Amino acid sequence: METAKNAILSGKAVLGIEFGSTRIKAVLVDETHQPIAMGVHDWENRLEDGIWTYSLEDIETGLQDCYASLVKDVQAKYGVALTKLGAIGFSGMMHGYMPFDKNGTLLVPFRTWRNTMTGQAVKELSPLFSFNVPQRWSVAHLYQAILNQESHVKDIAFLTTLAGYIHWKLTGEKVMGIGEASGMFPIDSEIMDYDQRRLDQFDMLIKDWGYKWTIREILPKVLLAGEKAGKLTAEGARFLDPTGTLEPGCPLCPPEGDAGTGMVATNAVKVRTGNVSAGTSIFSMVVLEKALTKYYEEIDMVTTPDGYPVAMVHCNNCTSDLNAWVNLFKEFSEQFGIEISMNDLYGTLYRKALEADKDCGGLVAYNYFSGEPVTGLNEGGRPMFLRLPDAKFNLANFMRSHLYSALAALKVGNDILLKKEQIKVDSLMGHGGLFKTPVVGQQMLAAALNAPVTVMDTASEGGPWGMAVLACYMQEKEQGENLADYLEKKIFAGQTGTTIAPNAEDVAGFDAFLEKYVNTLPAQKAAVEGLK
C-alpha cells in the first residue's frame, strides 16, 4: 500500500486505458508494474441507420467517467488525489473508420469494426494488393465510401481509429502504434511503416476521382513500441479530467489496438507465440517465423506493437449470445424470487457444460449478432439454436453448444493456419471474459485448436494493463532492449499461470460439432434473408 501511495504522490504511476466494445477500463500501475487502482465505464454500441457506432459524446463522457472512477478508487484506497502521472497509453477496439476534415470535424459517425458493409471494397483491394484486406479495416471503409460516392470523402484531412482519436485529443499528435496502424493499411515489416508499393497502388486506383489528398497524407504517422508519441497538453488534461485536477505534461506512448495490448498482456510477442482474446469478439494472434504461402480471406496480416508480422484470425462474434442466454436464466430465477449473482450464474452454467456430451449431443448454435466474414456471412447475423428431434436436449449440452459456438468461427480460420500452412505455435495464451470462470473456456479452446492453452494470473487485467506496460516500456527500456526481452525479464519473470492440454475426446467432439455447424451454415444465411 505504501509503495503504491508513494508512486501516486510522486507522479510515477502509469496509466493504461482501453476502449473495449462493452467497457472502457483504466488500470493504474506502480513502479513494479502491478495494478494499484482501476476505473470502469460500461457502454454499448448502437445500430443507427444500419451502422454500428458510438457517438463522440459517448466517447468523451465514457472516457471522463472511466477516469473519474479511477480517481475515486485511488482516493478510496490510498486517501490521496491523483494529480500527476508518469506516463499514459491509450488503446481501443481495432480498425474502423473515423474521418476528419481540416477543422477537426468528424465527417460521418464512427464506423466500428463490427460493421460488415465493405464487401465490394475488399473484393477489389485484396487482389489488387495480393494481400487480405478485412472488411473492418480503415482502408476498406475508405474505399467503400469512395465506391458509394459519399460526398464527405473529398473533405478528408485525417483518417484515424478510436485509439488514434483519443491520443490526438490529448496530445495534438496524429500518430499511431504500428500494431494499430496495421489494421488501417498494410504494413511493410522491413521498413516498419506503411507498405509504399500498396500506397502507390491505392493512389492509382482512385486517381480518376480527383481527390486532392493522397492516402499517406491522411493516415497517421507510424510509431513503434518504445517511441515517445507526444505529451499531455493542457487541453488534453482537461478533456480527460474536466475537474482540472490532473496536471498536463506527462509523456504518452503510441496508441495501440486491443490486439496489440492482448499480445503484451499475455507475453506473446515472440516468434511462435500466440494468444486468443475472447470477449464480445474473439481473435487469435500468432507471431510468424515465416511468411504464409499465399493470402487467405480468413487470415489477416497485422503486426506486434514492435512491428513483427502476425497472422490474425478475427471473428466478430463471441460472447454476446452467451451473455444473452445467461441474462435469460437470470430473469427466470428472479421470477421465483431467487437472487443469484452474475458471477455465480456464469460459473454454474459454464461448469455445467463440462458434464455434457463431447459433441453436444446433436445441438448446434450460432452466436451471430453481426456478420461473420470468416464463415462467409457478410450481411449481418441472426443468433440461432438448432437441434435434432432426438438430440440430448439438456442444460449441459445446451451450454456446451453455446460455448463451442463462441469458438467455432475461430477454429475455421485457425484450421487454415495450423493445418494447411503448418504454422508452429510453442505457446498459446488465453485472456478475456470467456476465461473468467476457471478451466471451462480454457478447456473448450484447447479442444477447438487442439493445442495447450495457458491463462496467466494477470490475464484478468487484460488490455488496459497491457497498454500501461507499453507506456512503462517507453519510459524504462534500456539501449537496444526489445519489447520481447523487456516483457520476459521485467514484467513476466516469476509470473505463474495454468495450462490445460487438449483432451483427445474433447478434440473429436469439437470436430463433430463443427461438421454440423459448417453443414448448417446455409440455414444461417437463409435466416438473414428471411428474418428482417
pLDDT tens, 476-509?
999 989 999 999 999 998 777 899 999 999 999 9
Instruction: Return d(Cα 60, Cα 171) in angstroms, integer.
Output: 15
- Per-residue pLDDT reduced to its tens digit, 448-460: 999 899 988 655 5
Q: Percent of the chain, pLDDT > 70?
A: 99
Residue 500 grid coordinates: 490445460
Q: What is the pLDDT of residue 334?
A: 97
Residue 16 grid coordinates: 493504461
Where do we find the cell 476457471?
438
- Per-residue pLDDT reduced to its tens digit, 31-89: 999 999 999 999 999 999 999 999 999 999 999 999 999 999 999 999 999 999 999 99
Q: Percent of the chain, pLDDT > 90?
A: 83
| Residue 422 is assigned to a structural domain of this protein | yes
| Residue 234 is assigned to a structural domain of this protein | no
Query: Does residue 7 contact residue 13 with C-beta atoms inside 8 Å?
Result: yes
| Residue 413 is assigned to a structural domain of this protein | yes
SS3 34: coil
Instruction: Return d(Cα 171, Cα 293) in angstroms, integer.
Output: 41
Q: Tally Cβ neighbours within 10 Å of residue 460.
A: 15
Instruction: Return d(Cα 499, Cα 488) in angstroms, integer.
Output: 18
| Residue 245 is assigned to a structural domain of this protein | no
Mean pLDDT, range 366-389, rounded to an integer: 90
Query: Does residue 428 contact residue 274 with C-beta atoms inside 8 Å?
Result: yes
The residues, ordered by sequence, that sit 6+ positions from 420 with a Cβ below 8 Å of its Cβ are: none
Task: Choose among 353, 329, 355: nearest CA to 340.
Answer: 329
| Residue 90 is assigned to a structural domain of this protein | no
Residue 290 grid coordinates: 515465416
| Domain total of the chain | 1
Query: Does residue 317 contact residue 381 with C-beta atoms inside 8 Å?
Result: yes
Q: What is the pLDDT of residue 461?
A: 61
Task: Choose among 229, 225, 258, 98: nearest CA to 170.
Answer: 229
| Residue 118 is assigned to a structural domain of this protein | no
Query: Does residue 308 contact residue 289 with C-beta atoms inside 8 Å?
Result: no
CATH code where residue 419 lies: 3.30.420.40
Q: Per-residue b/e over 499-511, b at no fewer than 16 CB within 10 Å?
A: ebebeeebbebbb
| Residue 398 is assigned to a structural domain of this protein | yes
- Most confident listed range (167-171, 381-385, 446-450, 455-459): 167-171
Q: Tally Cβ neighbours within 10 Å of residue 248.
A: 16
The residues, ordered by sequence, that sit 6+ positions from 226 with a Cβ below 8 Å of its Cβ are: 253, 306, 473, 474, 477, 483
Backbone angles phi, psi at 273, to 5 degrees: -110, 160
Q: What is the pLDDT of residue 353?
A: 98
Confidence check: pLDDT of 286 > 80: yes
Mean pLDDT, range 298-311, rounded to an integer: 93
Q: Tally Cβ neighbours within 10 Å of residue 379.
A: 12
- Residue 454's domain spans which residues? 267-458+502-532
- Per-residue pLDDT reduced to its tens digit, 181-191: 999 999 998 99
Helix (H) or strand (E) holding 403: helix 395-415
Q: What is the pLDDT of residue 28?
A: 97
| Residue 362 is assigned to a structural domain of this protein | yes
Q: What is the pLDDT of residue 458?
A: 56
Instruction: Return d(Cα 265, Cα 262) in angstroms, integer.
Output: 5
Q: Please tell me which residue, 462 or 11, carries the higher pLDDT value.
A: 11
Q: What is the pLDDT of residue 377?
A: 87
* 311-164-158 Cα angle (round to 5): 110
